[in-house]
Amino acid sequence: MEVLLTMMEILAALVLIFVLGLVSVIFLEAYRRRHNNAHVEAPAIFEDPKSLKQEITGRVNFEKLNVPCPNIFDPAEKYLSLIIPAFNEEHRLPGALDETMNYLQQRAANDKSFSYEVLIIDDGSRDGTKRVAFDFVKKYGVNNVRVILLGKNHGKGEAIRKGMLHSRGELLLMLDADGATKVTDLEKLENQIHAVARKGHGDSAADKATFRISDIPIVAFGSRAHLEEKALATRKWYRNFLMKGFHLVVLLAAGPGIRDTQCGFKMFTRSAARKLFTNIRLKRWCFDVELVFLCKWFGIPMLEISVNWSEIPGSKVNPLSIPNMLWELALMSVGYRTRIWKINS
């Protein structure tokens, strides 16, 4: 009996040491990342198509022409920016970009006031993603399609952040490179943002004259929550496990409000993007949850809007993502709740 008690005491002591050690590591890492909202600050350069041949083949080109890089704090120059993060998307990106460009060109032809840009952020791809992206720059011009090269893989959150901070749109849409959500669904998010913005704006002629959608902070989250029952029946078991477990952890970390935080289809007004993407610190899967937390912090209205979605083969989410997700959420909770992570207003 005494031996059993001794073993239980040793086990309890080991568990306590492990827990204290884990908490200490989380606090230390959160402290180390306190200025992590700086992220990758290498200047973004959009290359002119005339220099793409030399760039792709790797030969040095001293006469390369570059396009000035805009900043999220500059006034908007386009109506809509589409930000597409891409990591090893050589095969899925062409189809998604063809569909996107066809929609944008048709809309621009029907509405002369409509202007757009597509930003492809290559997150350190090791396949032909860069070549595919530059082919679209050549085809549509650097004013409509631009590529940012991060050099090495930093994560989806960092890629989107970089695109947001160097976009020109009044409205900014992030969407995945696989084309899982139909690009036409952006009109659902767009219309709801306009409806909410105009509710808080006066109806007088003076109010209408000064109304600018880019100045009103609003975020619209595309959502697959309405597809959950069907998804549970058709999706692989480990993805269902991931989804349910993740939803519970998200509820604890960021609170209620958005049922589907992870859908890669979200629209921001320029004002909202400026506040959010100059503050986010998480670089990978859980940056979406951090966006929800920051929206609540700033009091930015959040809309959740059902979108059409289909599962595309080649997903990079797998059971090994669980530890990284939990780690990032733990860092976020500790960082913000202890005020180690300061929020720039």
The CB density around residue 67, as the number of other CB atoms within 10 Å, is 12
Of 19-33, 51-65, 114-128, 218-232, where does the model show the most confidence?
114-128
Q: What is the pLDDT of residue 55?
A: 44
- Largest pairwise CA distance in the chain: 86
Cβ atoms within 10 Å, residue 86: 27
Listed range (128-132, 162-166, 227-231, 278-282) with the worst mean pLDDT: 227-231
Give the E-state strand segments of 36-77 in sequence order. 46-47, 66-67
Instruction: Give the model's pLDDT for residue 253.
Output: 72
Of these ranges, 6-10, 209-213, 295-299, 308-312, the one predicted with the greatest mean pLDDT is 295-299
Which of 250, 64, 291 lies closest to 164 in space, CA to CA? Answer: 291
Start-to-end Cα distance in the chain: 61
Which residues fall within 8 angstroms of residue 53, CB to CB, at 6 or more apart? none
Q: Which of 309, 298, 162, 325 is nearest to 241 (CA)?
A: 325
Tens of pLDDT, residue by residue over 197-241, are 988 666 655 566 668 999 999 999 999 877 665 555 456 666 667
Alpha-carbon dihedral sign for residues 320, 325, 331, 334: negative
> What is the Cα–Cα distance from 99 to 104, expressed in whole angstroms?
9
**Which residue did the predictor score with more confidence, 102 or 2?**
102
Percent of the chain surpassing pLDDT 70: 77
Residue-level pLDDT at 59: 41
DSSP letter at 85 equals E
Q: Please give the average per-residue pLDDT across 239-250, as a whole number.
A: 70
Element (H, E) at 56: helix 52-57
How many C-beta atoms surround the C-beta of residue 158 within 10 A?
22
The confidence score (pLDDT) of residue 249 equals 74
What is the distance between the alpha carbons of residues 122 and 85, in angstroms, rounded to a whole number?
6
- pLDDT at 171 > cutoff 50: yes
> Does the CA dihedral 46-216-338-325 come out positive or negative?
negative
DSSP symbol at 44 = P
Least confident of 56-60, 71-75, 154-158, 272-276: 56-60
**pLDDT given for residue 195 in this prediction:** 94
Q: Do 154 and 282 touch, CB atoms closer than 8 A?
A: no
CB distance 268 to 171 below 8 Å = yes
Quote the CA–CA distance of 290 and 292 in Å, as a whole number: 5
Query: What pLDDT shows up at residue 208?
Result: 62
Q: How far is the C-alpha of 305 from the C-alpha of 97, rounded, in Å?
A: 23
pLDDT for position 108? 97
Which helix (H) or strand (E) segment is 146 a member of?
A: strand 145-149
Predicted structure pTM score: 0.84
The percent of residues in the chain predicted with pLDDT above 90, rounded, is: 48
> 117 with 168: CB under 8 angstroms?
yes
pLDDT of residue 321: 66
Res. 260 pLDDT band, cuts 50 70 90: confident
